[in-house]
Amino acid sequence: MSTPDDRVRGFPAFGPQGGHGQFARSWWGRAWINAMEDTALDLRQLKQGRKYAAAGRVGPITVSPGRIAAVVDDQEGQYRTEVRLAELTGTEWDRFLDRVASRAGHLAALLDRDMPHDLIEAADDAGVHLLPGIGDLDPDCDCPGWELPCRHAAALSFQASWLLDADPFVLLLMRGKGERELLDELQRRNAPRFVRTGDDGTPAEQAYADEPGPLPDLDGFTPTGGPTVPGAPGIPAETFALLSGNASYQAGALLAARPKLTKKQDAVRLVASHPETTERLRPAERGEDFDRAVLAWRHGGRPGLEVLETSWTPPSQAIGRARVALAEVMDDPGQSLDVERNHCTVHGTGVQVRLGKDGLWYPYRDQWPAGSPEADPGVLFAALLG
């Protein structure tokens, strides 16, 4: 069972970040921000909330089942603000945990503070929607404003994306269960489904004479045992047991995914994750183009590489959004945007943002990837233009 500390987590206040700040570097953090922005009726409140978040006006944040709360500073005073998110039902938790327990890679990813796409897809297939959608985030604030969200709730939501980036268990806590409780549940689901016989006092002659029973379901069996591993600071020993018992399944999942990449893409992926492997490449495989591809993968994974290597023609509304975003962050109203398909370049600066087919904007400087993608092109323009 979880402890009270596990179900209520407190986080210290973020200090001022400088500039406009960058929010939601993870894809699940961006989903959180999109759910908030797509529901907003007043874009000015979002813009002000983004500034408040970057300026460090949000106090210590408390996360508990169904809510995230903080006090937000304003020129007019301090306001108690919270954003609520519906908890999963018991049945939904059972379906979700069954999916996690069935794939070792899912558990390993969560413990590595990652939220894999296929885990969310598997949960969706089971009718469990972990990530918030339009209308799922319910902001509340004691300020006199009527907007939903107001600038205070927007600031809290933007900073919440940093917490989600660092630890997806924050989202799971808001959905109703703490990390300790989840690991206990998964431990029970991963327990062996049969026990060893022969230690119950049965004579050997009788044991060998009995008709053998059916073989266990090896597909569903998770190996246990092996060397005893002591717990590390902040990491319980049973966590290592879960990982070691499921490591072979994770390796199999990774190998199964590799054929989807071309030989070059796989080399880029490997070097991006393990720079020391660069020396294993043939001289013909190295060069500026390869280095650029590695940087693109490092910032944006496979989607980031696709943005580097391919171009496409997005809807005119998306390009219009980039023009408006540039106008909002530039003091010079005459600054123009040169557009070539999905590439939007600030004239005469070398600063460029590229729209990916995943709906995210990728920053470039002098044709080189320059950072992590963002849902808001204005955030990138502000960062790139200083």
Retrieve residue 275's tokens: 């720079």
pLDDT of residue 376: 85
Retrieve residue 172's tokens: 């799971």
Domain-by-domain residue ranges, the chain? 4-88+130-177, 261-308, 311-384
Retrieve residue 165's tokens: 């980036």
Q: Which of 317, 316, 318, 298 is nearest to 308 (CA)?
A: 298
Q: What number of CA atoms fall less than 13 Å from residue 85's CA on the CB side? A: 27
Report which secondary-structure segment, H or E, holds 364: strand 361-365
pLDDT at 210 over 50: yes
pLDDT at 368 over 90: yes
pTM above 0.75, yes or no: no
Q: Write the pLDDT tens digit of every residue in 234-254.
A: 666 666 555 565 565 555 555
Task: Answer yes or no: are the C-beta atoms of 6 and 180 closer than 8 Å.
Answer: yes
- What backbone phi and psi angles, to 5 degrees, belong to 221? -90, 130
- Categorize the per-residue pLDDT at 198 as very low, low, confident or very high, splitting at 50, 70 and 90: very low
- What backbone phi and psi angles, to 5 degrees, belong to 67? -160, 155
- Categorize the per-residue pLDDT at 21 as very low, low, confident or very high, splitting at 50, 70 and 90: low
pLDDT of residue 25: 84
| Strand-by-strand arrangement of the 9-11 sheet | 9-11, 61-64, 67-74, 77-84, 138-141
pLDDT of residue 1: 41
Cis peptide before 149 (omega within 30 of 0): yes
322-347 mean pLDDT: 82
Q: What percent of the chain has pLDDT over 70?
A: 75
The neighbouring-strand residues paired with 9 are 63
Classify residue 127 as exposed, middle or buried by CB count within 10 Å of its CB (0-12, 13-18, 19+): exposed
